[in-house]
Amino acid sequence: MISLLRGKIADKPLGHVVIDVNGVGYGVTVPLSTYYRLGPVGEEAELKIHTSVKDTAIELFGFLSEDERAVFTLLISVAGVGPKLATNILSNVSPAEFASAVSSGELAKRKIPGIGPKLASRLVTELADKIKGLGLTAVGAGEAGMLADVISALLNVGYKKAEIDERISEIEEVCSNEPEMEYALRQALRIMKKM
């Protein structure tokens, strides 16, 4: 089982990354929170890996943090939550936000794509005790989801992925400090215009 990959980023289509490890390219599905924090093609990267083995395929899911992988593993332990849905959840909320929403029982209020009221209720019921053991601390609400939204908006107005990658640390900082999406997007546009 593959648990860690370290190598150069060979390709980086949205939501996926190909890591070149000594001439072998490993295709890895990543949540947007990890995707946008990875460097550009050609840079070194290290991903914590969850290997999913099915009858028809072996799939790799990668994360920059151990917290993301731990929450992913908890999510796929719940009936009805597969690796793709777990990746989608982590693309919309950080591990700490997810833990906070599950612990407080307010996961249904988060409006995460793919999680309806029934599934939210089941996740809270099945994971409330388990998630406390991870020791995740709360962060600003919506930070990871907002970053994905801001980057998506920048791509939609015509900025190239490589241009956004050059300014990603500044954009992340704006998203972590601004609670309002509209204001964060305005700030991100100002950052991009400085190029």
Among 121, 125, 119, 168, CA closest to 148? 168
pLDDT of 59-91, one tens digit each? 999 998 888 999 999 999 998 899 999 999 988
Angle at 28 between CA 1 and CA 2, to 5 degrees: 10
Beta bridge partners of 16: 29
20-24, 39-43, 110-114: the lowest-pLDDT one: 110-114
pTM tops 0.75, yes or no: no
Residue 145 is predicted with a pLDDT of 65
Residue 8 has pLDDT above 70, yes or no: yes
Query: Between helices 95-104 and 66-76, what is the axis angle to 10°?
Result: 50
Domains by residue range for the chain, with CATH: 4-63 (2.40.50.140), 66-132 (1.10.150.20), 143-193 (no CATH)
Among 90, 85, 81, CA closest to 33? 90
